[in-house]
Amino acid sequence: MKKILYPGKEEWMQILERPENGGEDLDKVCKAVFDEVRRDGDEALRKYTWYFDRVKLERLEVTEEEFQEAESVVDAELKKAIRVAKGNIEEFHKVQIPGKCEYVNERGFRCWQEGRAIDRVGLYVPGGSAPLFSTVLMLAIPAKLAGCREIVICTPPGRDGRVNPAILWTARLCGVTRVFKVGGIQAIAALALGTESVGRVDKIFGPGNRFVMAAKQWVGRYGVAIDMPAGPSELMVVADESARPTFVAADLLSQAEHGPDSQVFLVTCNESLIDRVEEELDKQLDQIPRKAIAEVALRNSKYIVLRSREECVELVNCYAPEHLMLCVKDYLDWVPEIRNAGSVFLGHYSPESAGDYASGTNHTLPTNGYARAYSGVNMDAFMKKVTFQEIMPEGLAYLGKTIEIMADNEKLEAHGNAVRVRNLEFKI
C-alpha cells in the first residue's frame, strides 16, 4: 500500500481514484453478449458459459436432485450459522417494511400511499472462487418479506458444472426454488431479456465484478431496473491512536481478499499508526489462502495521513466508500457528519465482516462513489410506492379554480376542462 502524507485537498480526487475498469471494452462486450442472448436465448447462455467459465451445460436450471444433494452435503455447523444469520437479517429487514401514509384535507379530499412488491425479481449471486451464499440471504430474505411473486437466482457454476451446495441450501432455506447455472454478463442479459429457460424480470439485484456491474448498467436500455451499481468491493478505515493495528490490518485484508480489483484505505491523523498496521498487515497476509489476490488489491490501496479530524470526515464524504469503519474512540460523535457511505461500522469491535454475514444489515451496497446518491439494498428496493387519491364533489369545488388556472397557464386547456365538466355536473 502506498503511503501519502498530508496531501492538499487539490490532490484528493487523484488520490481517491478507483482502479480502471476498461469501460469502453466492457461496453463492447456487453453489447455483443446482450445482442446474442436476445437472438439465440439459451444457446447463447450455453456458449458464453463455456467461453467465460469453461463449463459445458445442457440443462441451465438446477434440478430437485441437486437441491436434495446440497441438503445432505452442507455441514451441520454451517447450516446452524446460516440460520442464525437469517434470523438477524429477517428481523432487521422486517422493521423496514413501509406502512401506509395518508394526508386528509377536511375540505373534501384525501391522498395516501401504499407499498406494493415488485412482481418479478432476479438475484445475482457471485460464485467462482468465492461462492457467496451470504448474498442469497441478503437478497432473498427482503424479496420474500416484500412479497415478490417470482424470485429467481442466477449464479456461475463451478468447473464441475454444479452450483455450490451452500448456495443451493441457503436458497431453499429462504424459499427460492428456481436457480440457474449462469453467471457474468450473460446472466444479467438473460434476466433482462428472458430466454426459453430464464424468464424476464422487472428488477435485478446483486453484487459482482466489473463485468456484472457493466452489464447491470446496460439493462436500463431494455426497461429493467437495478438495485444500484454494485461492483468491486471497497473499504475505508478511519483510525485514531485508540485503534489496534491487529484489528485494522485484519479488516483491510478482509476486503482486499475479495478480488484483485478491490480497494482499501487507511485514513488517520496518527502517522505512527501506519507503520504498526503495515507490520501487522505483512504478518497476516502470509496467513491467508487468498494472499495472491489480496496483494494485487493492495497495490490499488493507500495509507493516507491527514492533519485533522475535520479533514478525515471531508475525505470520507468525498470518496463515498461502500464500507466505512470508524475505529476511533469517539465514533458516535462522527455519525451525524457522515453523509456518503454504504454501510458504517462503529468502534473497535464492529468488523466489516459482521455486516457481510450476520449482524442483520445488508451487504449489497453501492460502490464506485455511488453512495453519494444510492442506498444499500433494503426493503424499499423490493417495493414501489403507489399513490391513491379520493376527491369528493366539495373537494373538487375547493380545488377546481386552482387546477383550472394552472392548466390554462400551461396551455393544457383539456386538463382544466376535466375539472369544469365535473363541477358543472354537480352545479358547483
Q: Which residues form the catalytic set? A: 322-323
Rg of the Cα atoms in the chain: 25
Q: How far apart are CA 14 and CA 141, in angstroms?
A: 39
Cβ(339)–Cβ(318) below 8 Å: no
93 marked ligand binding residue = no
Non-local (6+) Cβ contacts of 91 within 8 A are 360
**In the numeric block, which cell numbers belong to residue 6?**
498530508
323 marked ligand binding residue = yes
202 marked ligand binding residue = no
3-39 in b/e form (b: 16+ CB < 10 A) is ebeebeeeebeeebeebebeeeebeebbeebbebbbe
40 marked ligand binding residue = no
Q: How deeply is 109 buried, as exposed, middle or buried, from its count of CB atoms within 10 A (0-12, 13-18, 19+)?
A: middle
348 marked ligand binding residue = no
356 marked ligand binding residue = yes
90 marked ligand binding residue = no
Q: What are phi and psi of 371, to 5 degrees?
A: -65, -10
209 marked ligand binding residue = yes
Cβ(218)–Cβ(187) below 8 Å: no
**In the numeric block, which cell numbers belong to residue 331?**
465514533
Annotated binding site for substrate: 233, 255, 258, 323, 356, 410, 415
Annotated binding site: 124, 186, 209, 233, 255, 258, 323, 356, 410, 415
Annotated binding site for NAD(+): 124, 186, 209
